[in-house]
Structures are given as structure tokens and as C-alpha cells.
Amino acid sequence: MLNMIEDLPDHVIGIRITDKLRAEDYSEQLVPLVNERLEKHRKLDLLCCIEGEWKGMEAGAAWQDLRLGLGKLGHWGRMALISDIGWLENAVKFFRVLSPGELRHFDSDDYEAARQWVCEQDRARINISLDAESGILLLEPGSDAALSEDDFEAVGEIAKDHLKNHQQLRGIMIRSRRLPGWQSIGALFAHLKFINSVHDRIGKVALVTNSPMGTFADRVLDPLMLAKIRRFDYDQNDEAMIWLKD
């Protein structure tokens, strides 16, 4: 059985599961609500609280669950699963890398932390600055936090706004002592989507890092992209900026 959690922001769907899920739980409650909210929001977040033991779902509910998940695959942002079931926690650890959006497990004692996490508005963890005069975009991801879909979407919005009035971005500087990689498959797809949307309107990309990934990009990706790519050591920030502006 499924009950809706009230008093959440409009972009957050909150559900509480107390018994075996039925097909009508999806068709009469969840699916109509998701469709209604997607008319107002490009992405939705999910707060799912499982009380007690997981009692499974009817065959019809499993089909509805699959349809809802696959049909709205690109429309889920953050998903918080709250439960004290050990195997569910392990499942989240395994599937979160493959999940669209960002998936996290919380114990029932951490309900408030889960609620705050899915309700958070400002989510990008990457420092972004754009010098509109020179047309150079500076990205500084943290070395200890893998890049998320939210990071790439924030970068994409700033780049898109600049390109409305300019032919191209003169250059992009990505500066991080250790490139952090991607948080999930969804983050990787968001990265590829960003590259695909602007790759022919970028002049140069400077990778200012001590990470081996920088050398890989310099030697392997450079011949494959229209933009010129060059790696600099982390302490060569000034040299990288001169190269971008040259």
C-alpha cells in the first residue's frame, strides 16, 4: 500500500510504503501525480520511505513500476530511499552508479536528512565562472566529489546563455588537482550531452590538473574533437590562460 507524503516542495514526490504494492497504487495515485508535476517541472525528485519489511508488489504493480521508471527515465533527479532493510541498502550501493539521476539510501533515523537532500535547490558542486569579455569559461570541480548531472546541467545553462549572443566560447579551463570522474552513468550521459551540444562552438580546452586523466584527454581526445585540447600541470594556471587567450 502506498501513501503520499505531504508538505514537500512541488518538485518532490513523496511516498510512504506500508504494505504490498498494488497496481492501483501506481495507476490511481503515483502515475497521475508524476504526469501532472512534469507539466510544471523538467525534473522531479523522489522521497521514498519503506516502513517495516519490504512486502513486495503485485505483478501488475511491477509492470506499472517498470513503465513509470523507463518512461520517465530522464526526468528523475534525486531519489532518496529510506529504510532499515539491509539488502535494500546494498542494492542502492550497487545500482546508484547505473541509476539516472542520483540515488541514495538513508536509515529511518535519518529521515530529516533525506528530506533536506531531495528538497535542496542549489545542487551544483562545481565552481563555475565565465569571463564574458574574453569568452573563457572556468570550471573548478572539487577533487573529492565526483561530477553529477546537476554539475553538467549548471555548466550547460551558463554556456547556452553565452552562446545566444556569441558565435563561440573562446575556451574552457577545467582546473582540478585531481579530476574527480563521474558520479553515475547519468552524469556521464549529461557530460556527453553537453559536449555534443557545444563541441563545434568551443575554441580550446585547457585541462589544468595533475591527474593522469588529463594526459589521456590530451593525447586521445584531442584528435577526435574540433576544439584543441591541451593539458597543463596544476601550478601552470597562468600559462594555460595565456594559451586560451592566444
User: Any idea what DSSP says for residue 28?
Assistant: I
- The three-point CA angle 120-96-139 to 5° equals 55
- Mean pLDDT of all residues in the chain? 79
What is the model's pLDDT at position 222?
52
The CATH number of 2-119 is 3.30.750
Look up the CATH architecture of domain 126-245. Answer: 2-Layer Sandwich (3.30)
The residue ranges of every structural domain in the chain are 2-119, 126-245
pLDDT at 154 > cutoff 80 = yes
Average pLDDT of the segment spanning 49-66: 59
Q: Is 126-245 the same fold as 2-119? A: yes
The string of pLDDT tens digits covering residues 13-46 is 898 888 776 677 777 777 888 888 888 988 889 8
The enclosing H or E element of 205 equals: strand 202-208
User: Among 2-11, 35-44, 88-97, which stretch is predicted with the lowest mean pLDDT?
Assistant: 88-97
How far is residue 177 from each of residues 77, 142, 174, measured CA to CA in Å?
Answer: 28, 8, 10
> How many beta carbons lie within 10 A of that of residue 137, not counting itself?
24
Residues, the chain = 246
Using DSSP bridges, classify how beta strands 136-141 and 126-131 pair: parallel, antiparallel or unpaired. antiparallel
User: Is the pTM here over 0.75, yes or no?
Assistant: no
> How many beta carbons lie within 10 A of that of residue 133, not counting itself?
7
The string of pLDDT tens digits covering residues 165-208 is 888 889 889 888 887 777 666 666 677 677 777 778 888 888 89
Rounded-to-integer distance, Cα 154 and Cα 145, Å:
16
Instruction: Give the whole-number percent of the chain exceeding pLDDT 90.
Output: 14
Average pLDDT of the segment spanning 224-229: 70
